[in-house]
Amino acid sequence: MPTQATDYDSPWKEALDYFFEDFVALLAPELHVLIDWSVAPVFLDTELQALASDSPNGRRYADKLVKLHRLDNGQAWVLVHVEVESGPPSGTSLAQLAQRMFTYFYRIWDRYVRQKMAGVGSSGPIELDAKNTSFYSLAILTSSTDGPSVLVHRQRLGKCQMCFRFPVVHLRRWEDDRVSLVDLAALNPFALVVMAQLDAQAHHGASERLLTKVRLIRLLFQHRYDRRRIQQLFRIIDWIMCLPKDLEPAFEQAVGAIETELNMPYVTSIERLGEARGLQKGRQEGLQEGRNSAARLLSAMLERRFGQLPAWVTTRIAQADTETLQRWTLNVLDAESLEAVFE
């Protein structure tokens, strides 16, 4: 499968940009209730990159520094640092994470509070009062199933001690509570981002990933978000759950069928994606290619759910037109038997 994107060019970074409040509500509810969300978050990406210029790279998807307005004090702000990290955790990597998060915390405090208290340097683009500035650090471990919910970086010598604690989200804990994620997605779109990440990590086979990706896109449309959110989420899911090029036409066929079924032609970029991928729409060979892609998709999904296909199924697939194949493909998602797919 394709490798993951780099730190500052990843679907997670885009997801945090688009859905930061939803992200906090789902994965850091204790913070969410403290924030006045009527005041738009201020993303300090440029400032964070300057602070992190000589930090260890690690295995990160995204880092964010966000300025939020506190609910309990009209003059108070919170600087939230989020790190999303991939790779299986170990004792060593968790210790390194704790040290790195402390380094960020200190640099953020030094940049936005200590220097202002001392009157050092120019005010810059952001004004913060030391008395009214709080900090919140949060780490998301996308490949972790279990571990401490709080990490600690501590230094101590005699009676002198420094202790820095911050919460950690082990994302794969949600694998055991998928039903809750599906329910939460009706109101919180970031649940779909979490499901996409879990599915991408769990399903490495091409046909299996195609099947789970189509299911997730169907769920996206069923929740009937507004057009803009659907387009944003589609882009993120498509990015996280990338497919081999030979399966991309089949995926586009499935998305088109879902849009037609639900009368929601929202993902207008599909046509541009198809053109970029070299599909010859409108020409006879392009139509035949589309039909063949739909047949391959249906066969792969049927084999995944029901095992080896009997001859009568192969015959019906070979004789069906594109529209019929698309309808059967959608039936696979909910059918309890092989026969029910073709009803």
How large is the angle between the packed helices 20-27 and 190-202, nearest 10 degrees?
70
Tell me the DSSP string of 161-184: EEEEEEEEEEGGGGGGGHHHHHHH
Which residues, in sequence order, are bridge partners of residue 169? 140
The domain of 244 spans: 203-341
For the chain, the domain total comes to 2
CA 328 to chain centre: 29
- Whether 297 and 215 share a structural domain: yes
**pLDDT for the residue 31:** 96
On whether residue 180 sits in a domain, the answer given is no
- Whether 215 and 109 share a structural domain: no
Dist. CA 139–CA 189, nearest whole Å: 20
The string of pLDDT tens digits covering residues 191-224 is: 999 999 999 988 778 888 888 999 999 999 998 8
On whether residue 86 sits in a domain, the answer given is yes
3-state secondary structure at position 65? strand
Structure-token match 């759950």, residue found:
241
| Radius of gyration over every alpha carbon of the chain, rounded to an integer in angstroms | 24
**pLDDT for the residue 15:** 94
Q: How confident is the model at residue 89 (pLDDT cuts 50, 70, 90)?
A: confident
On whether residue 159 sits in a domain, the answer given is yes
Give the residue-averaged pLDDT of 281-290: 51
What is the number of H-type helices and E-type strands within the chain? Answer: 16, 6
On whether residue 70 sits in a domain, the answer given is yes
- Whether 222 and 266 share a structural domain: yes
Q: How confident is the model at residue 115 (pLDDT cuts 50, 70, 90)?
A: low
- Whether 133 and 51 share a structural domain: yes
- Whether 134 and 65 share a structural domain: yes
Q: Contact 320/328 with Cβ under 8 angstroms?
A: yes
Q: Contact 320/286 with Cβ under 8 angstroms?
A: no
- Whether 150 and 286 share a structural domain: no
The least confident of 41-50, 56-65, 292-301 is 56-65
Identify the domain boundary among 151, 173, 195: 173
Identify the domain boundary among 173, 195, 222: 173
pTM, rounded to two decimals: 0.76
Q: Contact 126/44 with Cβ under 8 angstroms?
A: yes
Structure-token match 């249906």, residue found:
298
Decide which of 245 and 274 is more confident. 245
- Whether 137 and 211 share a structural domain: no
Dist. CA 95–CA 225, nearest whole Å: 40
- Whether 245 and 155 share a structural domain: no
- Whether 59 and 144 share a structural domain: yes
Decide which of 225 and 58 is more confident. 225
- Whether 157 and 220 share a structural domain: no
Identify the domain boundary among 121, 153, 173: 173
- Whether 156 and 276 share a structural domain: no
On whether residue 1 sits in a domain, the answer given is no
The string of pLDDT tens digits covering residues 294-329 is: 788 788 888 878 888 888 888 888 888 877 887 888
**pLDDT for the residue 124:** 52
Dist. CA 77–CA 134, nearest whole Å: 6
Give the residue-averaged pLDDT of 217-245: 89
On whether residue 240 sits in a domain, the answer given is yes
On whether residue 46 sits in a domain, the answer given is yes
Could you tell me which residues come within 8 angstroms of residue 280 by beta carbon, excluding any fewer than 6 positions away? 286, 289
Q: How confident is the model at residue 101 (pLDDT cuts 50, 70, 90)?
A: very high
On whether residue 197 sits in a domain, the answer given is no
Q: What are phi and psi of 278, to 5 degrees?
A: 85, 20
| CA nearest neighbour of 207 among 239, 240, 247 | 247
Q: What average pLDDT is seen over the chain?
A: 81
3-state secondary structure at position 154? strand
Helix (H) or strand (E) holding 35: none
Q: How confident is the model at residue 147 (pLDDT cuts 50, 70, 90)?
A: confident
- Whether 145 and 244 share a structural domain: no
Could you tell me which residues come within 8 angstroms of residue 5 by beta carbon, excluding any fewer than 6 positions away? 11, 61, 239
**pLDDT for the residue 264:** 78
**pLDDT for the residue 290:** 64
CB atoms within 10 A of CB 229: 18
